[in-house]
Amino acid sequence: MSLPPETRPAESGVIHDIGYRGYTGPRLGRGYATRSLFTQGLRAAYGLGRSGRSKVLPMLVLAVLTLPAVVIVALAIVQGRTELPLDYPAYPSALGLVVELFVAAQAPVLMSRDLRYSTVPLYFSRPITRGDYVRAKFGAMVVAMLLLMTAPMVVLYLGAVLGGMPFGHNTAHFLYGLAAAVLFALVYSAVGLLIAASTPRRGFGVAAIMGFLVVSQGIAVVVLGIAGGLDNPVPPESANWVGLLSPGWLVEGLVTQLFGLGSAADLHAPGTLGVTVFALEAAVVVAGSYGLLRRRYRSI
């Protein structure tokens, strides 16, 4: 039986001050948050700040890319050569499979993990925007790829110059190599991040990226064979258009023709028209992938 209202005990409450205070420090804003996300992404690409197991693959890939450069320089100096046996822009292409392995393994680290653990909405709560997020992740992957490909070329350059090889020739071709590294980094990062952002499962992302790169190059090899590019020491000029079918061959052909490197037997963009088409496709791949990435995160 309930008591009448006038006889019920008066309800009372106590407010306890447990020391919580509002933040009164500086507001660093979007720029600082974006830079922090970029730094975190770059460190994550090499496993820094994570478990020891996460560092094994990126550091192993870096070692595999750098050690041949040391051997090449040593052999060139011992043999008294006046130039390196492998040109700077050709170095990323010669070890292209290792570069592809890096982007396939590390692009999902930057994208898939945030999707899997649902941390992306936390970034967008404030103050970072979806565009800031994509820009930071894209920049981190590009810089990680640049560091990966530039390190062995720095070893080649320092070894060649200190070994008495012509300074002007090596400096010019080293700059060509840097240009090639930038193109490789942009194209591979664009493709890798776009595929990685489509799945929250890192394993699926690795398999999809590697599968796309390997299959596209396999198709290019088949088409090159049909065009007579495998049977002849000097393939017909028309056979070089197969470079449009593979991201790696696309950059390799563009760099070879743009800087006048290699010989007629090497894959290259066919003439001025080829340079224009190859450059246009590279720009479309990078810009299109970046745009699709922004659209992907617009719905999250």
The tens-digit pLDDT sequence of the chain (300 residues) is 555 555 555 556 677 777 777 777 777 788 888 999 999 999 999 988 878 888 899 999 999 999 999 999 999 999 988 889 889 998 988 888 999 999 999 999 999 888 888 888 777 777 888 899 999 999 999 999 999 999 999 999 999 999 889 999 999 999 999 999 999 999 999 999 999 998 888 889 999 999 999 999 999 989 888 877 676 767 778 888 998 999 999 999 999 888 888 765 678 888 889 999 999 999 999 999 999 999 988 877
Three-state DSSP at 18 gives coil
Three-state DSSP at 23 gives coil
C-alpha 31: how far from its chain's center? 22
* Residue 12: per-residue pLDDT: 63
* Residue 8: per-residue pLDDT: 54
What is the Cα–Cα distance from 104 to 212, expressed in whole angstroms? 10
pTM of the prediction?
0.86
What is the Cα–Cα distance from 82 to 249, expressed in whole angstroms? 29
Q: Which ranges constitute the DSSP H helices of the chain?
A: 29-45, 52-78, 90-94, 96-116, 120-125, 130-162, 167-196, 202-226, 247-258, 271-298
Contact 112, 70 (CB under 8 A): no
- Count CB atoms within 10 A of the CB of residue 195: 26
pLDDT digits (tens, 9 = 90+) for 82-134: 889 889 998 988 888 999 999 999 999 999 888 888 888 777 777 888 899 99
Packing angle between helix 167-196 and helix 130-162, nearest 10 degrees? 150
Residue ranges of domains in the chain:
29-298
Residues 6+ apart with CB under 8 A from 31: none
Degrees to nearest 5, angle at CA 105 with 100 and 106 = 100
